[in-house]
Chain A
Amino acid sequence: MEKLLHVEDLNIEFHDHLIPETVVYDFDLDMEPGEIVGLVGESGSGKSMSALAIAGLLSRHDMKKRGTITFNGRDILNCPRNQLRDLQGDEICIIFQEPLTSLDPVKKIGWQVEEALRIHTKLTPAERKAKALKALEDVELNDVERVYDSYPHELSGGMRQRVMIAAATIGNPMLLIADEPTTALDVTVQGQIVKLLKKINKEKNTAILFISHDLSLVSRLCDRVMVMKSGYVVESGSIKDIFENPKEEYTKKLIASIPSYDPEAGKEAEDDVILDVKDVCVSFDKKINGKNTNVKVLKNVSLKINKGEVIGLVGESGCGKSTLAKAIVGLQPIDSGSIEQHEKYPQMVFQDPYGSLNPSKKIGFILEEPLKNLTDVTEEERHKKAKEMICLVGLSEEYLERYPAELSGGQRQRVCIAQALMLGPKLLIADEPVSALDVTIQAEVLKLMQKLHEELGLSILFISHDLRVVGKMCDRVLVMKDGVIVEQGIKSDIYDDPKHEYTVSLLESAGLLKKN
């Protein structure tokens, strides 16, 4: 069969520094019509750069590209701009990661979906509208007439990503490049989008280049996979080969980093309650359609954590799990109910390691802050304790003299954990502590938390949207939806025999549902 895409020896260099920096080395790729290829790697590995180059979207003046990209018999790299425009939106389409910013906020959905038709075809407005409505139906949106006349802000993240897919596939492109299309979405929505991409691939025979950092997601969608690391393609092959017989060290590490559900670890802890949350309600005043409305975020939430227990709290974004964490540590006032705990000063680890460390303070200052404010220990003891803690989380003493900007995401999250442990608490509240990290770093931070749990007998309330991570870490699991805990129990009970339909759908989208 004729090759759809042929990339050979693609090199991409940046020239905005004195020494040119190569971000992609010798990238080779062949794709046939209707094939789904996964491109996996950590952030900064060059996967998005390669994809943008294939779509002809890399045209910055400070950038040099070498090699050949042939798409459907045409040379993309040396193609003049006006001929590229004929291709883009018609034969090659791209879906971006962030559905919140990739749609134009001042244009209606219908207009944006039709854009490709307006440019590449001579259809009448009525024909265009009919096609657009059909495309919106194809991506399984309900009430397409209303969606057609909406603005992007009226739609949810998942709906916007569907609209993006509709806009990208309306002209029946031969190649669809999906750049982390599901990373910004909730798990259940993620599963639906992957299914949708599969359907489009089957029905329209569209080839898909699927870029992701999530190896488990790629394994469910793609036929072939390429693994990239710091600009190089380290390994490529069929999904089966890569997973069953990885050759490169890095691929092995990636596969090992996929958190997997570990049914053995779930156990009943001794009955020594250190956190008792009873019937907690929280509500916010929110403006909806210009009217002040009272929105209930938590509805009679109760939970208990025993000493030495790791509890997982799962749910989608907006279900109230972060609000619950803030209520427990006292950052969020509660309307009713009670929270009893052993800790006088409960501590918490935040989701975004780039936002939770003060950029103008040295790590040492950040670590000593709780001791300075809340205890009477001398300066000498404070220094000693900070040194002890930084070593405990696996960094060396020199880091105390550094600023957060000098640390990587994983190192920052270690510092956050160290700060939370400075007062020697028995309970740690971790709000999505690894969601912002790359898979391999994620695995390391999880290992650290497990170590702290074992060595210090620490109880952890582990909040996450990722059922795999929770399945690896926790003894007990609570499932939360719309401010209510819908199911809770020992991990193996929840994972092997879910009772609530929402739990079932969560497990299904994570690919963890046992079929019986």
Chain B
Amino acid sequence: MNRKKRSFNFILGTVLLALTLIPALIGLVWTPYDPESMDVANKLAHVSIRHIYGCDNFGRDVFSRIMSGSGITLLIAIGTVACGSIIGTIIGAFTGYFGGMVDTAIMRINDVALAFPSILLALVIISLMGSGKYQVMFALGIAFIPSYARIVRGEYKRIKNLDYVKSAKLAGAGDLRIMFVHILPNTKAVLLSSVMIGFNNAILAEAGLSFLGIGVQPPDASLGRMLSEAQAYLFTNPGYAMFPGITIVMIILGFSLLSKEIG
């Protein structure tokens, strides 16, 4: 019974992600309409055969904008998670493996950073660097480092005392080799599922920042940006806000279901 339930999660997650990621991938090379070309005649057009998700307040095709917007959102999420997990893993590996004073010092700084909500930390960084998609990526990446550092450090602290690490020491492996050849692959399970969860958080954080108007800047589309723009037209054209929102929900649900399967 357990297994059946798990495979159901897996199938649902895959379907949700396929429905959102495949259009995003196609959106990189082709969209039905130019996502940035305006068409006053179709201003706030409702769902129709020509514009399946309707049009926005400038008459831009919402489906095309979701296609290219989710591409940008995913790009930012990937960049954020890559930046956070790689730097976080390196910090966690060194502090967890060596321990001692450096560990204590870095982990206290880490605690301070963790105490800030990551979106607040990102806000500060963006206000220093200016807004734009690369700045969002960088700011969120930095805000994500502490949580990865802590998770990885815990794993390293646990694994470094296991017999196979001692055995690797006896086999003459140096510290760096032990850290990244012997221990790192064994943190895979924990790291992978936290990367999946981090991916979700990054999508939400990007949407939040763009919603506040300091994320992705016009004319670039992103899912959060579209939500924020649609706010004013909630009653005239509900589809304009609904479809980007549903896309966000589908991506997040898809990744959560898959990460459960992996973790």
CB-defined interface of B164-188 with A at 8 Å, one 1/0 digit per residue? Answer: 1011111111100100001001101
Judging by beta carbons under 8 Å apart, are A356 and B163 in contact? yes
A347 at the interface (CB under 8 A from B): yes
Judging by beta carbons under 8 Å apart, are B171 and A419 in contact? yes
Interface of A is mostly: loop
Of B1, B168, B171, the most chain A CB neighbours within 10 A belong to B171
Judging by beta carbons under 8 Å apart, are A361 and B185 in contact? yes
Judging by beta carbons under 8 Å apart, are B170 and A345 in contact? yes
- Segment of A254-262, A368-376, A463-471 in the binding face: A368-376
B48 at the interface (CB under 8 A from A): no
B128 at the interface (CB under 8 A from A): no
Judging by beta carbons under 8 Å apart, are A355 and B162 in contact? yes
Interface of B is mostly: helix
Can you list 5 A-B pairs with a CB-CB distance of less than 8 A? A350-B167, A351-B163, A355-B164, A358-B164, A373-B171
Q: Apart from A370-B171, A416-B167, A419-B171, what are 13 other A-B pairs with CB-CB below 8 Å?
A: A16-B2, A62-B1, A331-B166, A347-B170, A350-B163, A350-B167, A357-B167, A358-B167, A360-B185, A361-B182, A361-B185, A369-B172, A370-B170
In Å, the complex CA distance between A200 and B99 comes to: 50
Interface residues of A in 204-223 (CB under 8 A from B): none
Of B3, B166, B169, B188, the most chain A CB neighbours within 10 A belong to B166
Q: Nearest-CB distance from A356 to chain B (Å)?
A: 4
Q: A16-B2, A352-B163, A373-B177 are in contact. Are A358 and B170 (CB under 8 A)?
A: no
A318 at the interface (CB under 8 A from B): no
A350: chain B residues within 8 A (beta carbon): 163, 166-167
Q: Nearest-CB distance from B179 to chain A (Å)?
A: 13
Judging by beta carbons under 8 Å apart, are B170 and A348 in contact? yes
Q: Nearest-CB distance from B36 to chain A (Å)?
A: 47
Judging by beta carbons under 8 Å apart, are B168 and A369 in contact? yes
Among A348, A355, A373, A419, contact of B173 (Cβ-Cβ < 8 Å): A373
Interface residues of A in 348-402 (CB under 8 A from B): 348, 350-352, 355-361, 369-370, 373-374
Judging by beta carbons under 8 Å apart, are A356 and B169 in contact? no
Q: A350-B163, A373-B177, A419-B167 are in contact. Are A358 and B172 (CB under 8 A)?
A: no
CB-defined interface of A251-289 with B at 8 Å, one 1/0 digit per residue? Answer: 000000000000000000000000000000000000000
Among A356, A357, A360, A374, contact of B172 (Cβ-Cβ < 8 Å): A374
A329: chain B residues within 8 A (beta carbon): 170
In Å, the complex CA distance between A356 and B167 comes to: 7
A346 at the interface (CB under 8 A from B): yes
A346: chain B residues within 8 A (beta carbon): 170
Among A16, A18, A62, A331, contact of B170 (Cβ-Cβ < 8 Å): A331
Q: Which residue of B lies closest to A15 (CB)?
A: B1
Binding site for A on B (CB under 8 A): 1-3, 162-164, 166-174, 177, 182, 185-186, 188
Q: Nearest-CB distance from A321 to chain B (Å)?
A: 16
B171: chain A residues within 8 A (beta carbon): 347, 369-370, 373-374, 419
In Å, the complex CA distance between A330 and B166 comes to: 10
In Å, the complex CA distance between A361 and B185 comes to: 9
A370: chain B residues within 8 A (beta carbon): 170-172
In Å, the complex CA distance between A369 and B3 comes to: 38
Q: A358-B186, A360-B185, A360-B188 are in contact. Are A369 and B173 (CB under 8 A)?
A: yes
In Å, the complex CA distance between A177 and B48 comes to: 74
Q: A358-B182, A360-B186, A361-B185 are in contact. Are A373 and B172 (CB under 8 A)?
A: yes
Binding site for B on A (CB under 8 A): 16, 18, 62, 326, 329-331, 345-348, 350-352, 355-361, 369-370, 373-374, 416, 419
Please name the 3 residue pairs, one residue from A and one from B, whose CB atoms are nearest each other, closest first.
A373-B172, A360-B185, A356-B163
Q: Nearest-CB distance from A239 to chain B (Å)?
A: 38
Judging by beta carbons under 8 Å apart, are B163 and A331 in contact? no
Q: Nearest-CB distance from B31 to chain A (Å)?
A: 42
A330: chain B residues within 8 A (beta carbon): 170
Q: A16-B2, A369-B171 are in contact. Are A356 and B177 (CB under 8 A)?
A: no
Q: Which residue of B lies closest to A331 (CB)?
A: B166
B182: chain A residues within 8 A (beta carbon): 358, 361
In Å, the complex CA distance between A370 and B172 comes to: 6
In Å, the complex CA distance between A373 and B182 comes to: 13
Q: Which residue of B lies closest to A347 (CB)?
A: B170
In Å, the complex CA distance between A374 and B173 comes to: 8
A326: chain B residues within 8 A (beta carbon): 166
In Å, the complex CA distance between A504 and B201 comes to: 65
A62: chain B residues within 8 A (beta carbon): 1
B163: chain A residues within 8 A (beta carbon): 350-352, 355-356
Q: Which residue of A lies closest to B177 (CB)?
A: A373
Q: Which residue of B lies closest to A416 (CB)?
A: B167
Q: Nearest-CB distance from B262 to chain A (Å)?
A: 16
Q: Which residue of B lies closest to A330 (CB)?
A: B170
In Å, the complex CA distance between A427 and B262 comes to: 44
B177: chain A residues within 8 A (beta carbon): 373
Judging by beta carbons under 8 Å apart, are A359 and B186 in contact? yes
Q: Nearest-CB distance from A456 to chain B (Å)?
A: 19
A357: chain B residues within 8 A (beta carbon): 164, 167
Q: Nearest-CB distance from B170 to chain A (Å)?
A: 6
Q: A350-B163, A369-B173, A373-B173 are in contact. Are A358 and B2 (CB under 8 A)?
A: no
Q: Which residue of A lies closest to B183 (CB)?
A: A358
Q: Nearest-CB distance from B239 to chain A (Å)?
A: 45
Among A18, A331, A352, A419, contact of B169 (Cβ-Cβ < 8 Å): A331
In Å, the complex CA distance between A360 and B186 comes to: 6
Q: Which residue of B lies closest to A356 (CB)?
A: B163
A416: chain B residues within 8 A (beta carbon): 167
Q: Which residue of B lies closest to A374 (CB)?
A: B172
Q: Which residue of B lies closest to A420 (CB)?
A: B170
Judging by beta carbons under 8 Å apart, are A356 and B164 in contact? yes
In Å, the complex CA distance between A330 and B2 comes to: 47
In Å, the complex CA distance between A357 and B171 comes to: 12
B169: chain A residues within 8 A (beta carbon): 331
B170: chain A residues within 8 A (beta carbon): 329-331, 345-348, 370
Q: Nearest-CB distance from B53 to chain A (Å)?
A: 43
Q: Which residue of A lies closest to B165 (CB)?
A: A358
Q: Nearest-CB distance from B7 to chain A (Å)?
A: 12
In Å, the complex CA distance between A356 and B1 comes to: 35
B162: chain A residues within 8 A (beta carbon): 355-356
In Å, the complex CA distance between A348 and B185 comes to: 24
